[in-house]
Amino acid sequence: MTSWTPNTFYKLGDVVSFQNISYKCQIAHTAIVSWEPISTPALWIKQESVTQPPVVTQPPVVTQPPVVTQPPVVTQPPVVTQPPVVVCQPINLLPNQSNTQQTININQNNTNSHIYTVNIDIDFI
């Protein structure tokens, strides 16, 4: 916007500033010193100050960081082992016999079979 200046031609619709007030020209003319906008309402229309509505800003959207979850720990069930099945042949002891040999068959879960020969000492009381 330009400031009002004497000896200037203004056409219909021109807007000028005079003493910090805006005026709109309503009749084309060449301005002279005594025709300031404040003194000549026939030439100039005071413009109402149009205030712009305040700009409403939205508060920033605060996002939470993603929650990082750990994958579940997969545990294996415990291995349950069965006690070995021990199969012994009956021992026939003769009177006063204090030692003998015995064969023992140890069978684990019917899968692994081990045969052991052991010496047995027996004390009679």
pLDDT of residue 34: 94
Q: Is residue 10 part of a domain?
A: yes
Check pLDDT > 60 for residue 108. Answer: no
CA–CA–CA angle 119, 123, 125 (5° rounding): 165
The count of other CB atoms within 10 Å of the CB of residue 37 is 22
Q: Is residue 68 part of a domain?
A: no
CATH number for the domain harbouring residue 30: 2.10.10.20
Query: What's the pTM?
Result: 0.40
pLDDT of residue 56: 73
Segment 21-38 mean pLDDT: 96
Q: Is residue 91 part of a domain?
A: yes
Number of domains in the chain: 2
* Whole-number Å distance between alpha carbons of 18 and 12: 17
Q: Is residue 103 part of a domain?
A: yes
Q: Is residue 65 part of a domain?
A: no
What is the residue range of 27's domain? 2-46
pLDDT of residue 80: 77
Contact 102, 117 (CB under 8 A): yes
Q: Is residue 107 part of a domain?
A: yes
pLDDT in tens, 40-91: 999 999 998 655 566 778 888 888 888 888 888 888 888 877 765 655 556 5
Q: Is residue 94 part of a domain?
A: yes
Q: Is residue 101 part of a domain?
A: yes
9 vs 117 pLDDT, higher one: 9
Check pLDDT > 90 for residue 25. Answer: yes
Q: How far is CA 57 from CA 3, 50, 51, 54, 61, in A?
A: 34, 21, 18, 9, 12
